[in-house]
Structure 1
Amino acid sequence: MKYPRLLLSVRLLLLCLPAVWVLAAADVPPAHRPGCKPSCGGVDVPYPFGIGDQCAIHSGFNISCNLVNGTERPLSGPFEVTKISIDDAKAWMKMDISWQCYDDRVRKMNEEIWRVNFTNTPFAFSSVDNKILVIGCKTLAYMMSESYTVGCLSQCSGELRNGSCSVGAGCCQADVPKDLRYFEAYFNPNYNDTTACGYIVVMEEKAFNYSTTYAYSSNFFDEYKGQVPVVMDWTIRRKSCEVAKTNHGSYACIADKSECVDDTTNRGYRCKCLDGYRGNPYVEDGCTDIDECLENTMNPCTRSGGTCLNTQGKFTCLCPSGKQMISDMCMANQKSSFWVMPVVGASVGLVVLIVTITCAYLTQQRRKLQHIKQRYFQQHGGMLLFEEIKSQQGIAFKIFSEAELQEATDKFNEKRVLGHGGHGTVYKGLLKGNLEVAVKRCMSIDEQHKKEFGKEMLILSQVNHKNIVKLFGCCLEVEVPMLVYEFIPNGTLFQLIHGNHGKQISLATRVQIAHQSAEALSYLHSWASPPIIHGDVKSSNILIDCDYTAKVSDFGASILAPTDESQFVTLVQGTCGYLDPEYMQTCQLTDKSDVYSFGVVLLELLTRRKPFKLGGPEDEKSLALRFISVTKEDKLKEILDDQIKNDENMEVLEEVAELAKQCLEMSGANRPSMKEVSERLDRLRKVMQHPWAQQNPEEMESLLGESSMASSEVVNTGNLSIEKKAARSLESGR
């Protein structure tokens, strides 16, 4: 077996960018840096980049020119730069391939996996130019960041064709999330092949051409010599143009004929030359006029018989003496020629002909577009859904047109964005009648769910629960369907817990939110027909109303996730910190996956800590693992939120912590159902609302009658529950 590189041990190499990449605290006024080296190793290094001290606009754009194997190579941090584009605000770099191979000699898997961090740099992985690629005949691999977990399962179950990267062909691919600056590569050891190699990499899509030999050998690694091209977007600073312009000392667009451009995808700004100019907008006098008269492709004057006169930012056509510009042609005027009228008439006729042809073309394109929309509508089961809505009276569900949602969201204006998630982007919309809605544009949908989408929407239209965000309708005449929800104005549980707003959140409010969220998930699992698995339970998918009522959202996207073994070899998606480890191993989503994720939400409510901490120590990155560790050592108080940590609350906190611990069991079979979780939280709320020390015996007897089952359940765990203590208190009172 041939391996990429010498494999003597498993190595995990951390490639965090050096400290010089952290942006300087004091901004250096941008200017042309005389005496700086303009290129390295044949690669131009234009300003704002620079080689050497004080040559770049700030330290994030420093390029080092080092000798590698006797040849100069430009490096940004540890990565070789192969090209820099000022016009497109992109940089091309080489990055290492993460791999896992079976070693026949020691009979185990060896691997080399990479962790890349661009967090404090101007760079982000281009979501337009790159793809996440997984190669191998049985390779389950994924990329994890603080906000995303994205990957796929590559198999050789179908026909292998050169140039075709698809599930079953020894290769699969996934989209790169927007504004991705950090990732860690992982292989699933419980699923991957033990006879060959598997690879995962972020790579420029245009530079990849799949070969069937990649699936069975180390050819992929060998051909690219262990490194692949990656396209990085860059912005000058993580500020908007409006904010950047207020700081004249650091504002980068200093060329006279330049303008500032907001990059909403990567949350920063860059500069460009005005139309009619080109050059470097970051340098004084860097944007120079384009002489259209010298560029035939932009010069219609010669064809019209005139003379081209270049002006700043544009050009003018001058006709010879005795002629004038008529319909973009230099023609004799009426006084100088008797044949001018026939020519004018012919020109008018030509214009009429062109207008007629244009109208016919636009009509044809409109019909073509309508045909495409109809095809998408039928492909997504629109006719089935439409007929069912007509036949079943009382279904408050609407099929929206694309034009309606375009109008409602101001053509999906970036200013209307409410949030980004693993499944898509949510926009605030205003329908006719001033009805506020949330419109979700999903990123992708697999072939299986394209066929069943209309049927699934019919199921979701009948979901009706006070703690679930109502799904008003959908749009099916687009390639990836869009979902329309009711709009909840007061933000998410994530913002409430982790936002820097100084709000005090009582334990009673936290238990209320937990109980209402659990009731919603229990309804989806137990009462919806057929049952619905949410698939992405997290605090940012729980919305909070003005009276702290919890509403679970984003359940519409969940039904698009794989739910049975026949759909099992597709994308593995979710949010880092919440993902069920059993799902990561099997790729099979179950109701117990939701239970695990809900357990993490309980920990957020107890600790007010984020589920995944990127910059923390290794043993504190995962909140779930940290929680399990402290509970084993009986040090629960160490991670509880100070706002609710007191002697009066400890019994309730221990009860909720015990419930969270059961939800976080590694095996789904050992976790409680969401119905059981909801019932236990409900009983806990009732006990908190009716302290037994202040109740008469009749009221306590009624309350504990509801809690009898809970007492027996918790006794079996070896812990003394609040319900049981209440019963003892009542007995002693008698």
Structure 2
Amino acid sequence: MVKLGCSRFLLSCHVLLCLSAIWVLAMADVPAGQRPGCPAKCGDVDIPFPFGIGDKCALHSGFNLSCTNTSVDGVKKPLKGNFEVTKIILPEAKVRMNTRAISSQCYDPAARSMNYINFGLNLTDSPFWISEVDNKIIVIGCNTLAYMTSSTYVIGCRSTCKNVTLENGKCSGAGCCQADVPKGIQYYHGYFNENYNTSTWPDNPCSYVTLMEKAAFSFNTSYVRSNSSVFDETSNGVVPIVLDWKIDAHACEEAKNTSSYACVSSNSVCVNATTIEPGYLCNCSDGYRGNPYITDGCQDINECLENANACGNGICENTPGNHTCSCNPGSSMVNDVCVEKPSRFPVMPVVGASVGVVVFVVALACACMIQERRKLQKMKRDYFRQHGGLILFDEMRSKQGIAFKIFTEEELQQATNRFSEQQVLGQGGYGTVYKGILKGDVEVAVKRCKTIDEQQKKEFGKEMLILSQVNHRNIVKLLGCCLEVEVPMLVYEFVPNGTLFQLIHGNHGMRISLATRLGIAHESADAIAYLHSSASTPILHGDIKSPNILLDMDHQAKVSDFGASILAPTDKSQFITLVHGTCGYLDPEYMQTNLLTDKSDVYSFGVVLLELLTAKLPFNFNPDVPAHEKSLSMMFMYAMKENKLDQILDVEIKDGDNTEIIEEIAELAMRCLEMCGDNRPSMKEVAEKLDSLRKVMQHPWVQRNPEEMECLLGEPSSMASSAITSAEYFSIEKKAVNDLQSGR
């Protein structure tokens, strides 16, 4: 049986099937607009600008297509790289393609082993990303746990055939399961977890995982019994996928000032793209349609011709971008309907009736508004009770002095400018974080979470009380929460100086000393150790990584997202069916057992130590990089084994005076990265070791007098009155430890 455990997952995370779409804005100085002489169709597919076939026919190379005869019937088809383009939807900025990115595992009875075919898709450095609205991750098979990896996500699901009834058209775990596509990803790769993938050959020989258009898939129970590719039988080995796109990486405000601004139609508007990274696209203005990327491409819509009832029984007159309605002489417009004017003599009855109607309508509108307001208030009260708000209130009254506030939804909306996109600080697997300003100009970070299950709703109030009592100088303070919404929101203190990831990997031209790095490492380890052992209730972080370590103006570390595990699945079966994490930081033991422990945090912190020592990314997705250099932890282990640590260190900390301290940090990182969790140190041990190394750098015993040295070492010292090196310090430290162990 071929094995593909978590350790092999870390090796195979880089295997890609790349879509060759290199997005180089080489035509930045070429004005936007339709190129003359360029084909508008390829086969049966329309090719609207900014896409194009031929030299300089597209807006830029990211939208270049080829038109090739790929079928036996002689019909030409448009291709992007090796993938067939079946439809370009211009108003929605979407492209539908056929891809062969289908991963499979099939049991080979002759070899008595599993055969694996793993595929993926890479849209990096292109204007495209995978639509999270139109696609789903689909898994087919019996006893199959499969997942997709991207640059920041690991997500999948589990399907089974045991003790369940398979149904056609139903994909919810019985023979077939599906998972949502994360927002804004450009890369994915499919894998299987053999700890759960057991063959039931000959009845169910094969399993599959792919990412495809959700509207194009319908499960059939025969799929799990096929001994050849299901997709070969149903769709010639391809699946459709829907991609979103943008013109370039400028937001609208910046793009309008460039010579290559693409919204050239006089009746077009610029729209910011919905992806996480900046970008823009063009639409026709309201009342117009057509192609906003070509001159005069947006044409007026004649509502009077297209909609016979645009003005009811009145006279419709088309206007640029709109239309007007009028009535024939002797009639007047009442509630968008032409009615005949009454004769003059019954004026008073008509006026009285009109006033009565107006009064009735106003009264009815007020009654509806009051009823809707009552419904909204009742909904907020229900949410408050569901999330344990009453329990939290009672506990807060019984425990005086807790600096924790329960915010209203209106307070947080005002603080974040109605959760404006301009206030977004970051996005992750559990939610979006916004910057807010409360009354009194207090800056805060508001976390708007995505989902919460029914069990967590009942326990949320109690868990908030536990987190509110977390008090450590190196942990971001939880100030309060909002419970009157469907999914609770958390309010944290605002830390102004960015993340450790930005400090290490950002292009800021600033030199980071070893002392600064060691200080950040010690403060972060001390905070995590506090969560594990010193908090009133032990808390597992679950997502230790450099983006979750914030820095204040003095580069003091502040560990954030320590409450994220509250909103993560807590039931063991959920961990089996839904896997989340950050590639490069994941504990191999957690990937095999799906059980989160304090030693999982230790492993992730070991990767953070490697980032501080090497200034390298935790995982390198470049397909040209050798396999052992993909994962930073594997590269480090290889370097330590070959005694080549110096070759991967950051050049900014290579200093002969600090060699021993760097080696000590590297040894500590090796202990943290042990494959078996039981062999890793606790976070308390890690923090104590880093504290001792930090003190050595800050106070290398330069000013010690002979009496102090004699007291510390138990014997006179001739070096006490002069400075000693780090190497001498470690020699003295080891001697002192040996003396203590021998009873001297």
TM-score, length of structure 1 as denominator length:
0.89
> Using a 3 Å threshold, how does the CA distance of structure 1 residues 20 and 406 change in structure 2: closer, same or farther?
closer
Distance change in 2, residues 1:408/1:444 (3 Å) = same
1:269 counterpart (265, 280, 300): 280
Which stretch of structure 1 is more off in the superposition, 186-195 or 520-529?
A: 186-195
Give the 5 Å matches for 1:636-655: 636-655=645-664
| Residue identity matched to 1:244 | A
Q: Which residue of 2 aligns with 1:203?
A: 212
Matching of residue 245 in structure 1 with residue 256 in structure 2: yes
- Partners in 2 of 1:437 and 1:409 — Cα distance? 9
What is the CA deviation profile of residues 63-119 of structure 1, one whole-angstrom value per residue up to 9, with x for unaligned ones?
222222324322222222222111111112223322222222212111221121111
Residue number in structure 1 paired with 2:633 = 624
Q: 2:102: which partner in 1?
A: 97
Cα offsets for 1:4-39 (capped at 9, x unmatched): xxxxxx999742223665443644322223332222
| 519-528 or 102-111, larger mean C-alpha shift | 102-111
Bigger Cα displacement from structure 2, 341-350 vs 81-90: 341-350
C-alpha distance in 2, partners of 1:730/1:691? 18
Aligned residue runs from structure 1 range 154-173, under 5 A? 154-156=159-161, 159-160=164-165, 161-166=167-172, 168-173=173-178
1:427 to partner: Cα distance: 0.5
Q: Which shifted more, 127-136 or 83-92? A: 127-136
SS at match of 2:521: helix
Q: What is the aligned partner in structure 2 of residue 428 from structure 1? A: 435
Deviation at residue 628 of structure 1 after TM alignment: 0.8
CA distance in 2, matches of 1:637, 1:657: 11
Aligned counterparts of 1:476 and 1:440: Cα–Cα separation in 2 = 13
1:627 counterpart SS class? helix
- Change in Cα spacing, 1:155 to 1:402, as seen in structure 2 (3 Å) is farther
Aligned residue number for residue 389 of structure 1: 396
Match of 1:279 among 290, 293, 296: 290
Q: Is the 8 A contact 2:62 2:126 kept in 1?
A: yes
In structure 2, do the counterparts of structure 1 residues 372 and 703 end up closer, same or farther at CA, with 3 Å as the change threshold?
A: farther
Task: Call closer, same or farther: CA 1:694–1:509 in 2, change over 3 Å.
Answer: same
Residues 171-218 of structure 1 deviation map (CA, whole Å, 9 limit, x = unaligned) = 443332222111222222333223343322222333334445545557
Secondary structure of 1:466 counterpart? coil
After TM superposition, the structure 1 stretch with the greater mean CA deviation from structure 2, 546-555 or 442-451, is: 442-451
Residue 712 of structure 1 corresponds to which residue in structure 2? Answer: none
Equivalences for residues 90-489 of structure 1 within 5 A: 90-95=94-99, 96-156=101-161, 159-160=164-165, 161-166=167-172, 168-195=173-200, 196-214=205-223, 217=226, 221=231, 222-248=233-259, 250-266=260-276, 267-296=278-307, 299-301=309-311, 303=312, 305-332=313-340, 337-338=344-345, 346=353, 349-489=356-496
* Stretch of structure 1 that moved more, 423-432 or 652-661: 423-432
- Which is further off, 580-589 or 380-389? 380-389
Q: 2:535 and 2:219 mapped to 1: Cα distance? A: 43
Aligned to 2:720: none
Q: C-alpha distance in 2, partners of 1:292/1:194?
A: 61
Q: Report what 2:35 is aligned to.
A: 33
| Alignment deviations for residues 307-351 of structure 1 (CA, whole Å, 9 cap, x no partner) | 1111111111232234443443334557x7545765565555445
SS in 2 for 1:630: helix
Matched, 1:78 2:82: yes
Q: 662, 670, 676: which one pairs with 1:661?
A: 670
Residues 92, 584 of structure 1: alpha-carbon distance in 2 compared, 3 angstrom cutoff: same
- Distance between the aligned counterparts of 2:29 and 2:430, measured in 1? 38
Distance in 1 (alpha carbons) for counterparts of 2:639 and 2:84: 43
Pick which of 364-373 and 231-240 moved more: 364-373
Question: Does structure 2 conserve the Cα–Cα contact (< 8 Å) formed by 1:473 and 1:483?
Answer: yes
Sort the Cα spacing of 1:436 and 1:20 in 2 relative to 1 into closer, same or farther, 3 A.
closer
Q: What is the CA-CA distance between 1:241 and the residue it aligns to?
A: 1.2
Q: Give the deviation of 1:265 after TM superposition.
A: 2.3
SS in 2 for 1:153: strand
* Identity percentage of aligned residues: 62
Letter in 1 for 2:301: I
TM superposition shift of 1:721 = 9.9
CA distance in 1, matches of 2:614, 2:398: 50
For residue 441 of structure 1, give the secondary structure of its aligned residue in structure 2: strand
CA distance in 2, matches of 1:328, 1:188: 63
| Separation of aligned partners in 1, 2:174 and 2:329 | 69
Give the Cα separation in 1 of the matches to 2:348 and 2:230.
Answer: 69
Residues 104 and 357 (structure 1 numbering): CA distance in 2 closer, same or farther, change over 3 Å?
farther
Matched residue SS, 2:429: coil
Once the two structures are superposed, the pairs formed by residues 565-604 of structure 1 within 5 Å of their partners are 565=572, 567-604=574-611
Q: Distance in 2 between matches of 1:571 and 1:189?
A: 15
Structure 2 gap segments, 5+ residues each = 1-11, 715-726, 740-744
The code of the aligned residue for 1:74 comes to P
Tell me by how many angstroms 1:610 deviates: 1.4
Q: Cα–Cα, structure 1 residues 722 and 461, in superposed 2: closer, same or farther, change >3 Å?
A: same
Pair 1:551-2:558 in alignment: yes
Partners of 1:13 and 1:112 within 8 A in 2? no
CA–CA distance in structure 1, aligned partners of residues 142 and 729 of structure 2? 53
Q: Deviations over 1:641-700 (max 9, x none)?
A: 111111101000000001011111111121111111111111111222221455234444
Query: Normalization by structure 2: what TM-score?
Result: 0.88
Q: Could you say what secondary structure the match of 1:459 adopts?
A: helix
Distance 1:406-1:12 versus aligned 2 partners, 3 A rule: closer
Residues paired across the two proteins, number? 703
Separation in 2, partners of 1:507, 1:565: 41
Residue of structure 2 equivalent to 1:63? 65
More displaced stretch, 694-703 vs 27-36: 694-703
CA distance in 1, matches of 2:162, 2:402: 42
Question: Does residue 15 of the first structure (1) align with residue 17 of the second (2)?
Answer: yes
What is the CA–CA distance in structure 2 between the aligned matches of 1:703 and 1:235, rounded to whole Å? 66
Alignment of 1:671-682 (within 5 A): 671-682=680-691
Contact 1:331 1:340 in 2 (8 A): no
Letter in 2 for 1:254: V
Deviations 1:131-167 (A, max 9, x none): 333333322222222222223333456744554444x
RMSD: 2.9
Please state whether the residue corresponding to 2:118 is helix, strand or coil. strand
> What is the 5 A alignment of 1:477-556?
477-556=484-563
Please tell me whether the aligned partners of residues 692 and 730 of structure 1 are also in contact (alpha carbons under 8 angstroms): no
Residue 273 of structure 1 contacts residue 280 of structure 1 at CA under 8 Å; is this kept in 2?
yes
Unpaired stretches in structure 1, ≥5 consecutive residues:
1-9, 706-719
231-240 or 478-487, larger mean C-alpha shift = 478-487
